[in-house]
Amino acid sequence: MKAAKRQRGVALLSALLVVALATVLVAGILDDGERGLARTRNLVRSEQADALAAGLEEWALQVLLQDLASDGRRDYRDDAWSTGIPPTDVPGGKVAGHLTDLGGRFNLNNLARNGVRVPLEAERFARLLRALKLDPAIAEATVDYLDADIDRALDGAEDQHYLLQDPPRRAANRAMAHASELRLVRGVTRDVWTKLAPYVVAVPAGTSINVNTAAAPVLMALAEGLSEPDARRMAESARYEQVGGFAAELEQLGVVFAATTGVDVASDYFLARAEVVLDGIPIAYSSVIERRDGRLRVVERARGAL
């Protein structure tokens, strides 16, 4: 009798073990299936997002061509390209796009051309830093980071400084690929970069600042003695057809505008941004577009960055 009970107990345990193993196997199969479905869904959504971003980039190219045809070689803050595409429903989510004029920003790569310091641009960058209440010595440190030599300027920094950092590194001694490289320059902390980011860009050297789209701190960088209130007023109402109009307004304010070099009323570079949300997951795209001599060219694309 005891043996029979013992056998029934063993049989019950065996049955429970079989059920448990079957449950684990079924759960594993279902999990593999869900994982496979998730991978497929993510792949499809990723390709869909890429296609939507490509469409928004094409929209940006067409808008810039139309603007060139209507306004000629002049760009204003309220041009058609500034309108953008509001969040629009698409299968599985929403998409939005807008263009930013990079011509209204200070081009960091102008600080050194062909590896040689450009004094006028260094002075302008120092004024921009002062306008933002930042240390103007960052200007010379940035020049040293970009120029081809290894000679340290008075307020600059070369390999001797960077090799002592953690991790150690060297000065780039070349043009920046992206403005965020400024974070590697001596004195540029996170807070400094946060203040500077809206006013700087890193595109090929030789660009000019568009006084029609530049913000007040950038206008203050162009002329010594331009006050912040005057710069804000000028930025808000700017519709200059020629640089001479900007210079004349400064003269009326008693501000000396010594050099028109590197100043324009048109822009050569624009940033097209696409914001795609699919299945609640946001994906950001950006394209830097060059518009020069009536032709458009995408010079940089990035995913996951704005």
Average pLDDT for 249-264: 90
Q: Is position 185 within any domain?
A: no
Answer positive or negative: Cα dihedral of 206, 212, 251, 132: negative
As a whole-number percent, the residues of the chain with pLDDT over 70 amount to 87
Average pLDDT for 97-114: 95
Average pLDDT for 90-102: 91
Q: Is position 281 within any domain?
A: yes
pLDDT at 87: 92
**What would the two tokens of residue 137 be?**
């010595």
- Phi/psi for 290 (5° steps) reads -95, 130
Contact 282, 247 (CB under 8 A): no
Q: Is position 160 within any domain?
A: no
Q: Is position 19 within any domain?
A: yes
**Which tens digit of pLDDT belongs to each residue from 212-243?**
999 999 999 999 999 999 999 999 999 999 99
pLDDT band at residue 39, thresholds of 50, 70 and 90?
confident
pLDDT at 306: 45
- Is omega for the bond preceding 217 within 30 degrees of 0, making it cis? no
Cα Dmax for the chain: 115
Q: Is position 92 within any domain?
A: yes
> What type of residue sits at position 177?
A
Least confident of 21-35, 41-55, 100-114, 127-141: 21-35
Q: Is position 61 within any domain?
A: yes
Q: Is position 24 within any domain?
A: yes
pLDDT at 10: 60
Element (H, E) at 190: helix 190-196
Distance CA 300, CA 277 (A): 22
Average pLDDT of the chain to the nearest whole number: 87
> Could you tell me whether strands 112-113 and 116-117 are parallel, antiparallel, or unpaired per DSSP bridges?
antiparallel
| Range(s) of the domain holding residue 291 | 2-103+268-303
Average pLDDT for 182-200: 96
Does the structure show a pLDDT above 70 at 88? Answer: yes
pLDDT at 83: 86
Answer positive or negative: Cα dihedral of 40, 41, 45, 46: negative
Does the structure show a pLDDT above 50 at 292? Answer: yes
Does the structure show a pLDDT above 70 at 7? Answer: no
pLDDT at 106: 98
Q: Is position 49 within any domain?
A: yes
Answer with the residue of higher pLDDT: 179 or 294. 179
Average pLDDT for 260-275: 93
pLDDT band at residue 304, thresholds of 50, 70 and 90?
confident
Tell me the pTM.
0.83
Distance CA 11, CA 24 (A): 20
For the chain, the domain total comes to 1
Does the structure show a pLDDT above 90 at 47? Answer: no
The CATH number given to whatever domain includes residue 276 is 3.30.1300.30
**Which tens digit of pLDDT belongs to each residue from 194-216?**
999 999 999 999 999 999 999 99
CA nearest neighbour of 104 among 238, 229, 227 = 238
- Rounded to a whole number, what is the distance in angstroms from the first to the last CA of the chain? 78
Does the structure show a pLDDT above 80 at 95? Answer: yes
